[in-house]
Structure 1
Amino acid sequence: MIFVTGIVPDSFGVGLVHPILKKGKPADQCTLYRPITVSTTFCKLFESLIFDEIALRCTTPDDQFGFKKHSGWEHVHSLLANLFIDADKNGDLLVFGALDVSGAFDSGIHGHFLLKAL
């Protein structure tokens, strides 16, 4: 019915949030916890069906590794390792830059961060 009407029940947005202490950190600061949300089984099943449907209907570039089944940081690592090996073998200069934004949105105004990045 959800696929026909396009309406998702409000209860799908509800879950139990459990604070998990970051590994090796003292338990005395709220910022040292990660929120983990536990959703209902029905919601997770629906999420899986939606993910499969999107995967069938949409294509993504080969160099996109996030939000894809059977893909993750290991693939990025392998790709970068091969780039470095090839550049070294051919005597090419390889310039590489990385930006870690994993904690950028913990607090603050999101638009401010985006403007700074541009």
Structure 2
Amino acid sequence: MAKLKDTDIKLVIAGHCAPGCSCQLLLSFLEGLFISTAMAIPLPITILLRGARFCTIRGIINGILTFRGRAIIQAGIILLIFTPVIRVVFSAIGFILEKDYLYTGITLLVLLIIFISMLSGHSA
């Protein structure tokens, strides 16, 4: 097996993050289009995100398939959250493959902090 270089890791991370960013751009465009055509006046984001139907992945996917604006917005938010998380995961994998244990530990600590803050619902 050929030795893995730092630039190889960066290319893998960029290759996996680019589709997420592209999807987010498309969803943002669709959100803006839907909101501008469906609503005459802008609403606060808290009003747009209410509704238990879109609290699960299945509910969000069903909402997207039926062109529900709130589902599209929530899918965009999920993509915004998980694009950098995936980047951190791939960074950790890259550091493990490079046998750089200091940066592996730091990256896993960052990932742990992200997961704890997401699960607890608290921010700094």
Superposition TM-score, scaled by structure 1 size: 0.32
Which has the larger strand fraction? 1
* Structure having greater relative contact order (Cα 8 Å, sep ≥ 6): 2
Which has the larger helix fraction? 2
Larger Rg: 1
